Structure 1
Amino acid sequence: MTSATSLFSPVESDLQLLTENLKKLVGARHPILYAAAEHLFGAGGKRLRPAVVLLISRATLPDQGVTPRHRRLAEITEMIHTASLVHDDVVDEAELRRGVPTVHSSFGNRVAVLAGDFLFAQASWYLANLDNLAVVKLLSEVIMDLAEGEIRQGLTQFDTGLSIEAYLDKSYYKTASLIANSAKAAGLLSEVSPEMADNLYRYGKHMGLAFQIVDDILDFTGSAESLGKPAGSDLKSGNLTAPALYALEEQPYLEAIIEREFTQEGDLEKALELVQTSQGLDRSRELAASHAKIAVEALADLPASDSRQALLRLTDYVLSRLY
């Protein structure tokens, strides 16, 4: 399987610089924030979101390299993403993230909530200092979408009537919005045409949806070691994703188990087995592939370059995580 790191070779040095800058930007104010920043930005994340911003910068401005404003946008994107993860882990009471202890399990809930708030606030301040109202609007919408996605997920726990469309809407808010809007914002900073900006948004949206669907499949098929969290944790918490929603269409008993919230012994194991023996996983793979295909099509008018090729190969990488 291709690694994310090798895909990002056109911007590898840019991503290294980004990681060091983030530690300095976030940790400058207070020792506990520096410790949290070291913990967050040293946890071996894929850096997918800032990589997309940096690759679009290089693909749309081939003669300039990455501009300072694109670098700052990439940092803002990773700050927003990380802030959302810190808060998600508090809400979900998650002990591990990427195989290492979460901020709240290491530093306590109070510090975790405040660290997440600080990251959102700092991202907003740096965003305002880009002095580009259209970009400010795009990334401000992302912060609203992240909250909307988390609220929707909370309100639909153990809801066996959830539709695939509602699941995709929630997935957009929680994952794809940030990739879509930061991709478009990168295009706006490069002063691309309105049509190209919309295509970059479509690329980010559908690549983000494919990424989330794949993550949701891996929750059923991956090991705790590879996931960095216990397998089946989404289902256990009542977060119904594509594999379970498709399985519900053909496994009536699954509905009963979920609606009683796995209160009887062996319920969770039985539910996981019912999903595994249904068409849910195959149909979810097809759904992810269909969104990856739309993402590829959205880049048809982007001029050929190593960075464009990396953006295209990124959609293959997203799907290859399943195999």
Structure 2
Amino acid sequence: MFPATWRRLCRRAPSCPAPRTQSLLAGSGPSYWSKVVSDAERLVGYPTSFMSLRCLLSDELSNVAMHVRKLIGTQHPLLNTARGYVYDSRSNLQTRGLIVLLMSKAAGPSHAASDLLPQDMVSGIYPSQRHLAEITELIHTAFLVHRGIVDLKGWTDSDGPLKDMEFGNKMAVLSGDFLLANACTGLAQLNNTKVVELISSAIGDVVQGIYSENNSTTEENAGVDAAAWEDRAFLSHGALLAKSCQAALELANHDKGSQSLAFKYGKHISLGHKLNSDLQPFVKSDAGEPASFSLSAAPVLFHRQVVGQERWRQQLQQATTLRNQLDYSKLLAAVKSEKGVSSAVTYAVTMATGLWRPSRFSPPPKLDPPWRTSPPPSPDFELDTHTHTHTHTHSCKH
């Protein structure tokens, strides 16, 4: 069975740590994370730097890159996305495909009658599963590029040349759509309609989730509890990895029970990563960096649950500048002054604990009201994450 295979793989891995309550969030910095990624790459026999390499070296993308060079010297976020993808020194951008490969290796071959032969496997992974991991990376990168589309509604001359931003937006749309088109072509080559259906629905989920995130900050009746946050975070950040893990087991003809476990693992590890990203602006002490965060972040939602809608509306008004922009430093101080951050930490630790028991996944826990929650020991939040803090809008239709 799949759970037994999973335990056997963990025992075989030399660097697999013992379960710890805060293991998802605690770490020893970038060097520790790089070692974890390196050990995982050795297990699957496939460096993450090779992900999407065939697409990145294509003539079409080379032509796009020539135009992107014109953005050098501007403040368009597409440059940072491209730079981070090519020189990903912290090994953050391409971990989704690596997780898909690890899941494929953990599951191993299916005992069901199949045309797939064990001798076709390389390092315990079928070629189709490696192809799926590359497709997952392509889709994730495409949405990273699309998330960098700048909202020019309130753009002024003091923000920089408008034509540079317009050109950058066009290149972001073109580049992201090109990557998505390649991903769709790769999906068709897998010759598995169930996998095509799963990944296609994941793309739709991500689009819906990004739209929901961009609009939930202005909706007063939007949910502010853990379940509401999880629903939105799953669509925008968890659906792709969860359904890719499930698709990896479908490619190996595993039963529905094993596929369900893989889906839940991918979902929960994505939500844990999103929680960690949401917490970074509230736990980092870099005084020189401007405070900027999403109003749909978990600590903000829990803070709204603590203070109530009326008090939250007053805090937003107090943090609004004369130019009708938000002073994030004031909002940051307001959120940190209440129990929103500690409640998000408690939720993150609960989710991290659940990751070590894949057979016992349950619906999101109903947390006590944050004002009744005693702050847990503050974990060492040093796991670097690739986050985007600029204002953007996703204006593409797929």
User: Shared topology, TM-score over 0.5?
Assistant: yes
Alignment equivalent of 1:32, drawn from 63, 68, 77? 63
CA offsets 1:22-78 (integer angstroms, 9 cap, x no match): 233233133234567974532314222111111112212287422211111111011
1:272 and 2:272 aligned: no
Partner-residue secondary structure (3-state), 2:356? helix
Q: Counterpart in 2 of 1:99?
A: none
Alignment equivalent of 1:216, drawn from 278, 290, 301? 278
| Greater displacement, 3-12 / 14-23 | 14-23
Alpha-carbon offset, residue 199 of structure 1: 0.5
Alignment equivalent of 2:146, drawn from 80, 87, 108? 87
Q: Counterpart in 1 of 2:297?
A: 241
Structure-2 change in CA distance of 1:38 and 1:248 (3 Å): closer
Identity level (%): 26
Report the TM-score, using the length of structure 2 for normalisation: 0.64
Alpha-carbon distance in structure 1 between the residues aligned to 2:96 and 2:143 = 13
Alpha-carbon distance in structure 2 between the residues aligned to 1:274 and 1:262 = 13
Alignment equivalent of 2:180, drawn from 87, 110, 120? 120
Alpha-carbon offset, residue 87 of structure 1: 0.5
Q: How does 1:5-24 map to 2 (within 5 A)?
A: 5-8=34-37, 9-12=39-42, 17-20=47-50, 22-24=52-54
1:43 and 2:73 aligned: no
Alpha-carbon distance in structure 2 between the residues aligned to 1:322 and 1:10 = 20
Alignment equivalent of 1:53, drawn from 89, 92, 100? 100
Alpha-carbon offset, residue 262 of structure 1: 2.0
Q: Counterpart in 2 of 1:177?
A: 239
Structure-2 change in CA distance of 1:53 and 1:299 (3 Å): farther
Alignment equivalent of 1:155, drawn from 195, 198, 215? 215
Structure-2 change in CA distance of 1:284 and 1:88 (3 Å): same
Alpha-carbon offset, residue 92 of structure 1: 5.9
Structure-2 change in CA distance of 1:159 and 1:262 (3 Å): farther
Q: Counterpart in 2 of 1:256?
A: 314
| Greater displacement, 25-34 / 10-19 | 10-19
Structure-2 change in CA distance of 1:184 and 1:21 (3 Å): closer
Q: Counterpart in 2 of 1:78?
A: 137
How many residues get paired? Answer: 290
Structure-2 change in CA distance of 1:203 and 1:20 (3 Å): closer
Alpha-carbon offset, residue 151 of structure 1: 1.1
1:194 and 2:256 aligned: yes
Partner-residue secondary structure (3-state), 2:148? helix
The higher radius of gyration belongs to: 2
Structure with bigger RCO (C-alpha 8 Å, 6+ apart): 2
Unmatched tracts of structure 2, length 5 or more: 1-26, 69-80, 110-117, 153-163, 362-378, 384-398
Alpha-carbon offset, residue 178 of structure 1: 1.0
Alpha-carbon offset, residue 145 of structure 1: 0.7
Check whether the contact 1:26–1:119 (CA below 8 A) recurs between aligned residues: no
Check whether the contact 1:157–1:240 (CA below 8 A) recurs between aligned residues: yes
Report the TM-score, using the length of structure 1 for normalisation: 0.78
Alpha-carbon offset, residue 256 of structure 1: 1.6
Q: Counterpart in 2 of 1:138?
A: 198
Alpha-carbon distance in structure 1 between the residues aligned to 2:235 and 2:151 = 17
Partner-residue secondary structure (3-state), 2:296? coil
- Partner letter of residue 142 of structure 1? A
- Partner letter of residue 263 of structure 1? T
Check whether the contact 1:152–1:170 (CA below 8 A) recurs between aligned residues: yes
- Partner letter of residue 41 of structure 2? V
Alpha-carbon offset, residue 275 of structure 1: 0.7
Check whether the contact 1:145–1:174 (CA below 8 A) recurs between aligned residues: yes
Structure-2 change in CA distance of 1:277 and 1:23 (3 Å): same
Alpha-carbon offset, residue 127 of structure 1: 0.9
Alpha-carbon distance in structure 2 between the residues aligned to 1:23 and 1:79 = 10
Alpha-carbon distance in structure 2 between the residues aligned to 1:34 and 1:108 = 12
Alpha-carbon distance in structure 1 between the residues aligned to 2:45 and 2:320 = 43
Alpha-carbon offset, residue 247 of structure 1: 1.4
Structure-2 change in CA distance of 1:224 and 1:27 (3 Å): farther
CA offsets 1:184-226 (integer angstroms, 9 cap, x no match): 1111122222111100101111111111111111132236799
Identify, as 1 or 2, the structure richer in helix: 1
